[in-house]
Amino acid sequence: MRPPTKETSSRPAVLAVLPGLIPSTLIGVVKPLLLLHQRGELELTVIPEQLATQRGVVRCDLLVFARNCEPRFCLALDLARRLRIPYVYDLDDDLFNVPASTKVGVYHESSERRALLIEYLRGAALVRTYAGTLAERLRLYAERIDVVRPSFDLSLIPSSPPSRRSQIRVVYATSRAEDELASMFLPAIRRLTKEAHGRVTFTHWGGAPDERLASREFGTIPFDKDYDRFVRRLYREAFDIGLAPLSNDEFHRSKTNTKFRDYGGCWVAGVYSDVEVYSSCVEDGITGLLVGDSEQEWYWAIRRLVEDDTQRLDIQRLARRAVVENYSVASAAQAWNREITAILDKGPSPKRGTGGPLRPAGSSMTSNPVDCAESLSKLAPDATVADLVGSALQGSWKIWFSGALVFIRAHMSELRSYAKLWLATR
């Protein structure tokens, strides 16, 4: 193992340079690495990619990236390539195949972002992903790929099931603002709630619910960017049944089984699309129900759980057990520990990028002040509080200030999360 850079510690210094504290980065990177830090296995620093500095990168033994592909903020990758500092790239989505009909898809269609994503993959000592389908695609660019299990933070909620209500409560939770997947089950839900005469309610959590569903049996909960807070509330709401539709196309086959972990971890009996993402982890009839795309299949699966109290409760209990046994943060941390040890023992991967600077022309931090003002309205679809800081560094504070106040207010929870992480690693 190459000797640790930090003079005061024999533990390797790991720097996670992230595009934001979104569920993907929190679940796959931050939580397991923070556990290793707390156990004394490594020294962790987590920063937004916009705030990466040469000093910070030079002092680390290993870099971690996750979903990074923004050409404006590739200083850390530049330095890693020049100084041959090994890095891990964590990816939980097929960013090459995001549907172009969405804002996120338009963002990732950029040729610059695709080229930079390939550079990240080619230079990585290890690429971590969570689906075999995605791993096969990434082998075009990466030398070493690990397909690993994601995790669920069991410490967020009690270890006993929540108190149930008299009605049967069905939920669909999504983080997608543009979500066409709900169309798979909406006709079935409308039919079922009409027949149940008030015994069954449906809640659309996040996204933009179908306006035709407005009735006393249908409710909505706004999307919450704070993933930990979402999980705690999902438990407290005590939903009985959760729905997880998924298309069987290349992009969606590369997804992770997030809804199985969320529903199962919170004692919610799930109905899942019968695609590999879920069929690989759900035992049909035991830890959930698997269904095809037809309205009839969704209707009868949901109705089965509504009417069969025994099976519904059994699925809730057994799904929870499956999550506890297979998706703990401790298990994810062990996988990270093995990988980091192997990388530092071996040294940098011999296959590197092209070696030239990656920052595109015009990305200087001394841009025109007008560009700074415009950048507040042109941030990536999943913009975070870190993007605000990057915009501030690019131009006039006077032009930036009014937009900054609005942006900080909207992203206060993420700002608090960065502050908590800073305190946790000190």
Read off the pLDDT of residues 357-401 as tens digits, 9 standing for 90 and up: 554 433 333 333 333 333 333 444 444 444 545 544 444 444 445
**Does the domain at residues 1-151+328-363 carry the CATH identifier 2.70.98.60?**
no
pTM of the model: 0.83
Whether 415 shows a pLDDT value over 70: the answer reads no
Mean pLDDT for the chain? 84
pLDDT at residue number 376: 36
Residue-wise DSSP of 242-297: EEE----SHHHHT---HHHHHHHHTT-EEEEESSHHHHTT--BTTTBEEE-SSHHH
Q: Specify the range with the lowest mean pLDDT, choosing from 75-89, 159-173, 208-222, 363-377.
A: 363-377
Nearest to 337 by CA among 48, 39, 127, 21: 39
What is the rounded distance in angstroms from the CA atom of residue 375 to the CA atom of residue 315?
48
Furthest C-alpha separation in the chain: 69
Nearest to 12 by CA among 344, 320, 373: 344
What is the rounded distance in angstroms from the CA atom of residue 144 to the CA atom of residue 93?
17
pLDDT at residue number 112: 95
Tokens of 169: 């409560």
| Higher pLDDT, residue 365 or 232 | 232
pLDDT at residue number 105: 86
Instruction: Specify the 3-state DSSP secondary structure of 169.
Output: strand
pLDDT at residue number 206: 85
| For the chain, percent of residues with pLDDT exceeding 90 | 64
SS3 content of the chain, % helix, strand, coil (to 5): 45, 15, 40
Q: Where are the domains of the chain?
A: 1-151+328-363, 156-326, 365-426
| Higher pLDDT, residue 368 or 307 | 307
Phi, psi of 171 (to 5 degrees): -130, 145
Whether 332 shows a pLDDT value over 60: the answer reads yes
| Higher pLDDT, residue 387 or 19 | 19
Same fold, 1-151+328-363 and 156-326: yes
Structurally, at CATH architecture level, domain 156-326 sits in 3-Layer(aba) Sandwich (3.40)
What angle is formed at CA 35 by the lines to CA 134 and CA 278, rounded to 5 degrees? 30
Query: Rounded to a whole number, what is the distance in angstroms from the first to the last CA of the chain?
Result: 25
Nearest to 383 by CA among 120, 71, 21: 21
